[in-house]
Structure 1
Amino acid sequence: MTNLNNQHILISRVDAIGDVVLTLPLCGYLKSIYPDVKISFLGRTYTGPIIKCCGAVDHFINYDDLKAFPEQEQILALKAESIDTIIHVYPQKKIAILAKKAGIKNRIGTTNRTFHWLTCNKLVRLSRKNSDLHEAQLNIGLLKPLGIKSVPQVSQLVGFYHFRQQVVLPQQFARLLASDKFNIILHPKSNGSGREWGLNRFAELIALLPADQFNIFISGSDKEKELLKDWLPTLPAHINDITGKLTLHQFIAFIAEADGLIAASTGPLHIAAMSGTHALGLYPTTRPMHAGRWGPIGKQAEFVNSGTDELHSISAGIVYDRVKAWL
């Protein structure tokens, strides 16, 4: 393909929040080369708010809604979108079969999924597990069949998020943010997506953060709130518990208006990085979970490597020293 302008390209990634965030630079990079291309994103209900924050995405297709229809109606729905190309960033056999049956002309997938050999007509040799590239760079590597062979450096990817806040933060949450203190969000859990620093380490960090300088929030999903229910009451009275209280749209806005966030490799860390908020990620050195593959990408994003296959070796003092530099 020599010119993709006015073409309709569907990016398919139906997994978790962090994975989706790290796919958005692909959309921005593609748009920077072909400004008139139409980009749709096939995602899940719960990642829709993330996808809609990317100005490079023109249209969100909800896979949860699509797969609720009988197969023939799913095929007709995809046909009605007049899609020229689908890129299977997150390989899913059912979606690959559906795209072929819908007659999408160009179907891009990796060679290391057997079903792609039967469902895709543009194959890319791509090994994520053993690569030294960042996840966001690996995603961009799937553009090769479109004639886009150059992959930007990680530092360059920041400019391709095209982040735009979708909702105004409701006053009940906006008033929690202090104008005279550094508003910092601590996100202790990872929803099973990676190693965790441990609640004792977060408690140690809280003890180091001066209450007259830091306005501290503990965040987490409804499910994570249940996991934190015995720990939260043990924290000092000035700590703000916002676990399970915000929708994802609201949480994105809250993160964007806060000053910093600390977490292991999990969705909120990547949201903070994308939105330009200070983001500190805590990572093991183990492949493929290391920061070289999954580190946050943002103008004010950074990470700490543990040097081991777990995170407990990262002391609260090390993290505090990083946070002090944000003031």
Structure 2
Amino acid sequence: MLQQALVILAGGGIGDALMAIPVARVLRDGGREVTMLANPSTKRLLAGHPLLKEVIVDDQGGTHAGLSGFLRLVSEIRDRHFGEVLVLWSTVRTAWLSYLARIPVRAGQAGRLLYSHLYTHPVSVRSEKGDTRSHWVDCLLDYPRALGIPVHATSPFLEITDEDRERSHRLFAEIGIPIDRPRVVIHAGKGISLAGKIWPTGMFARVADELARRWEVAVVLSGSEPEKPLVELILSECKETVYDLSGRTSLRDLAGILSGSLMMICPDSGPMHIAAAVGTPVVAIFALAKDFPDRWHPHGVPFEVVRKEPPPCPPGCIKEKCKDFRCMAAITSEMVLEAAERLRARLPEGHRDVENNAKGKKWTSA
């Protein structure tokens, strides 16, 4: 019987979940069955992932709310008899969960007064020691390393199913894009409540227009339902035909749409990591001084980072309190277009065959 391992990522976002997939890979390669504890939106993205036996939801807004809900979750985890847990998103809640569930081997974040003593294998987080260069994928692999599990180079991935592909084909048909037409996806939003942290809409519109003219591709704007007004503003500034899929896609739908696309253009965001996970090259906008592109860039695919160096952020600026996001305004549409041209020049000719690429591009290097 295979040893049962639990990976806890209940507090992270889309990118955090996808960058945890390499941890699941090395656990599986080490002879373990892997279950992930995640939030509801992450489960919808990772459900059915071939590396995961199960995705359990920590429903803090419902079933697992409050003390009684937390104890219910403890019981659910304890009943599965995990031998190991890797807490990639450490909080007081997740630390006590792993401890009270009586999982004998527990790896989690070191250096936290309130809960690190609950772990049998505390792990020093590199970013807290000033490391801004290591990619987060490799930082997360420090958790299996702490348990003596062999680690190898691997990247996040999502498997695109026939159902995902058929759904994306229907969506393209609904907005008038032939399946075999090369396409570029632009995702302007970041899914956070910082409106100023969006690259100016006029810049996105100029990039969309220029790519539609220069490359004769279908330029598709994606976005969640809350991001739809942002997309509509960009569309109002476009002069060429640009297609709108905002508010019409789930995370799985977005993965299907990105699979087989020529490239994605977006800020550092969860959708950026979805693109990388399905093998789609990315032009990524990293404007803020503390965006740290070495840590967060798309992993495992060809990419270009667009960034003004040094970022024009005043000393001590943090994004939650920034008044003007001048770093965003410092990035021009021409900088993004030049990055897109560089990235396109690096891609093999076969990458333009979108149907072939939709079956799963495997890049040997990024």
Question: What is the CA-CA distance between 1:237 and the residue it aligns to?
Answer: 5.8
Match of 1:281 in 2: 284
SS of 1:222's equivalent?
coil
Q: Deviations over 1:277-297 (max 9, x none)?
A: 12111113623x211011111
Assess if the C-alpha contact under 8 Å between 1:112 and 1:127 holds in 2. no
Match of 1:100 in 2: 99
Match of 2:33 in 1: 38
SS of 2:107's equivalent?
strand
CA separation of 1:249 and 1:179: change in aligned 2, threshold 3 A: closer
1:178 paired with 2:175, answer no
Tell me the distance in 2 between the aligned counterparts of 1:274 and 1:77: 30
Match of 1:6 among 2, 5, 13: 2
- Within a 5 Å distance, the mapping from 1:248-263 to structure 2 comes to 248-263=251-266
CA separation of 1:48 and 1:70: change in aligned 2, threshold 3 A: closer
Question: What is the CA-CA distance between 1:217 and the residue it aligns to?
Answer: 0.9
1:314 paired with 2:343, answer no
SS of 1:114's equivalent?
coil
Q: Deviations over 1:47-96 (max 9, x none)?
A: 11332364222211111176256343222211121111111111121122
- Within a 5 Å distance, the mapping from 1:211-250 to structure 2 comes to 211=213, 213-236=216-239, 238-250=241-253
SS of 2:26's equivalent?
helix
Letter in 2 for 1:73: R
1:291 paired with 2:330, answer no
Assess if the C-alpha contact under 8 Å between 1:141 and 1:149 holds in 2. no
Assess if the C-alpha contact under 8 Å between 1:276 and 1:299 holds in 2. yes
Tell me the distance in 2 between the aligned counterparts of 1:193 and 1:108: 32
Match of 2:340 in 1: 323
Assess if the C-alpha contact under 8 Å between 1:281 and 1:295 holds in 2. yes
SS of 1:207's equivalent?
helix
Q: Structure 1 unaligned runs (5+)? A: none
The 10-residue stretch of structure 1 (17-26 or 46-55) with the greater mean CA deviation from structure 2: 46-55
CA separation of 1:10 and 1:177: change in aligned 2, threshold 3 A: farther
Match of 1:51 in 2: 46
Tell me the distance in 1 between the aligned counterparts of 2:3 and 2:43: 23
The 10-residue stretch of structure 1 (267-276 or 48-57) with the greater mean CA deviation from structure 2: 48-57
Assess if the C-alpha contact under 8 Å between 2:95 and 2:116 holds in 1. no
Question: What is the CA-CA distance between 1:180 and the residue it aligns to?
Answer: 5.5
Tell me the distance in 2 between the aligned counterparts of 1:193 and 1:261: 22
Assess if the C-alpha contact under 8 Å between 2:186 and 2:265 holds in 1. yes
Letter in 2 for 1:185: V
Question: What is the CA-CA distance between 1:272 and the residue it aligns to?
Answer: 0.6
Assess if the C-alpha contact under 8 Å between 2:284 and 2:305 holds in 1. yes
Letter in 2 for 1:40: T
Tell me the distance in 1 between the aligned counterparts of 2:142 and 2:278: 24
Letter in 2 for 1:302: E
- Within a 5 Å distance, the mapping from 1:110-189 to structure 2 comes to 110-129=109-128, 130-131=130-131, 132-148=133-149, 156-158=153-155, 161-166=156-161, 167-168=163-164, 169-170=166-167, 171-175=169-173, 176-179=176-179, 181-189=181-189
Q: Deviations over 1:135-180 (max 9, x none)?
A: 1111111123311375x5xxx433xx35311433324314244356
CA separation of 1:202 and 1:227: change in aligned 2, threshold 3 A: closer
Q: Deviations over 1:185-213 (max 9, x none)?
A: 11111122884322121122123223471
Assess if the C-alpha contact under 8 Å between 2:5 and 2:33 holds in 1. yes
Q: TM-score, normalised by structure 1?
A: 0.86
Match of 2:200 in 1: 198
SS of 1:233's equivalent?
helix
SS of 1:115's equivalent?
coil
SS of 2:184's equivalent?
strand
Relative to total residues, which structure has the larger helix share, 1 or 2? 2
- Among the aligned pairs, what percent are the same residue? 18
Q: Deviations over 1:234-287 (max 9, x none)?
A: 323611111111122211111113221110100111111111112111113623
In angstroms, what is the RMSD of aligned CA positions?
2.5
Tell me the distance in 2 between the aligned counterparts of 1:165 and 1:230: 31
Tell me the distance in 2 between the aligned counterparts of 1:280 and 1:231: 18
